[in-house]
Amino acid sequence: MSFAKIALEEHVDVPKSINGWQYVAQQGSVQGEKRPYTPAPVDGLLALMDANGIEMSVLSLTQAAVECIPVKELSVRVARDSNDYIAEQVAKNPKRLQAWATLPMLDPEAASLELVRCVKELGFKGTMVKGFCQVGAGDQVAYYDQPEYDEFWATVASLDVPFYLHPRYPMPHGIQSIAGHSWFRGSVWGFGVETATHTLRLMASGIFDRYPKLTVILGHLGETLPNAVWRIDHRLAKEKQQLPAQKKFAEYLRNNFYLTTSGNFCTHTLQDTIAEVGADRILFSVDYPYESVEQAAKWFDSCEISEANRLKIGRSNAEKLLKMSTAASA
């Protein structure tokens, strides 16, 4: 392989001294749940990139942090401070690192303003949001198909940057079928179910009709949606469901979404995803530090796809989507 890859779902730490992170550490990503801390140093990522043919990574925060802060003022402050810190890391090595903005989605207006700041002042490539946000002290949550987020989506569309919808743990009451089976709650199953359902809500809401150039990125080769979307459309039509959406969900998936390989290094799944959405809509990613950079790179560099598609997925799609002017080879 004669080109260097670009990776889009690579997570890093911020110092625990940043305002509000003590709250995040105490609460966990979901109220009542504590998770082991997984170190994700920037220097560690750079070394792994060097060793595995990755020229550039787009950085984001490690876990659903700001999204789990149910206090607007605090979430706004933590988002801004975290973005400033990541911007400092990118500035040290801008040829190797770029960034996604962290946004205080509990406050749609503040989220819009912070996205504008990050894109126009800090040079970020868009935003990565870790699923729904928590509201108040209970278990109430907000999803982004709700009407109060429409102006936020208008801002995303006007900036012409991607919105990366990343998984987070469902709330403890969220998926009753796995209650008592905690091993299914995270990346094994619950992440995909939660994120795919959120995505379907966005599709159904009509935002891609109101903002037809809006672009959303999903990880893990689409959170199973490429395999499920035909039947979803089939049953919606057969049952004569009346939705705000004006098109079939498969059309949105092929025209408004990009899917990354993060954490899903299965050749057959990649081939099926290419068949469903096309190679122009797929991007290489790892999911550092939760997945092995070496495993992801070795798999992708040798998996059974055409060399033309390998170049698109590994590099040129990202260059186009993120408006990058990088070298053609490494």
Distant-in-sequence contacts of 138-141, Cβ < 8 A, 24+ apart = 139/31, 139/171, 139/172, 139/173, 141/171
* CA distances for 59 relative to 17, 133, 236, angstroms: 19, 20, 37
Interatomic CA distance for residues 315 and 81, integer angstroms: 30
Residue 317: strand, helix, or coil: helix
User: Using one digit for the tens of pLDDT, what is the confidence trace for 304-322?
Assistant: 999 999 999 999 999 999 9
Longest dimension (CA), the chain: 55
pLDDT confidence of residue 24:
60
Among the ranges given (35-44, 84-93, 151-160, 259-268), the one the predictor scored with the smallest mean pLDDT: 35-44
Highest mean pLDDT among 27-41, 166-180, 206-220, 230-244: 206-220
* CB within 8 Å of 108: residues ≥ 6 apart: 148, 149, 151, 152
- Average pLDDT of every residue of the chain: 90
CA distance 273 to 279: 8
Helix or strand (DSSP H, E) at 173: none
Q: Could you give the residue numbers annotated as active site?
A: 287
- The residue-averaged pLDDT of 151-178 equals 89
Average the pLDDT over 278-296 and give the result: 97
* Matching residue, tokens 């992708």: 300
The CATH number corresponding to 5-321 among 3.30.420.40, 3.20.20.100, 3.20.20.140, 3.90.740.10 equals 3.20.20.140
pLDDT tens track for 59-102: 998 876 789 888 899 899 989 999 999 999 999 999 999 999 99
Q: How confident is the model at residue 18 (pLDDT cuts 50, 70, 90)?
A: low
pLDDT of residue 329: 39
* CA distance readout (Å), 92 to 87, 201, 326: 9, 39, 17
Report pLDDT for 22.
Answer: 59
219: pLDDT strictly greater than 90 = yes
- Listed in sequence order, the DSSP H helices in the chain are 21-27, 42-51, 72-92, 108-120, 150-159, 190-205, 207-210, 225-238, 249-255, 267-277, 293-302, 307-311, 317-321
Identify the residue with better confidence: 120 or 191.
120
Q: Do the Cβ atoms of 297 and 53 come closer than 8 Å?
A: yes
Q: Is 135 helix (H, G, I), strand (E, B) or coil?
A: strand
Where exactly are the structural domains of the chain?
5-321
Please state which of the ranges 28-32, 54-58, 236-240 shows the lowest mean pLDDT.
28-32
Residue 298 banded pLDDT, cuts 50, 70, 90? very high
* Backbone dihedral angles phi then psi of residue 51, each to the nearest 5 degrees: -80, -15
- Residue 278 CA to residue 104 CA, distance in Å, equals 33
Mean pLDDT of 1-29: 72
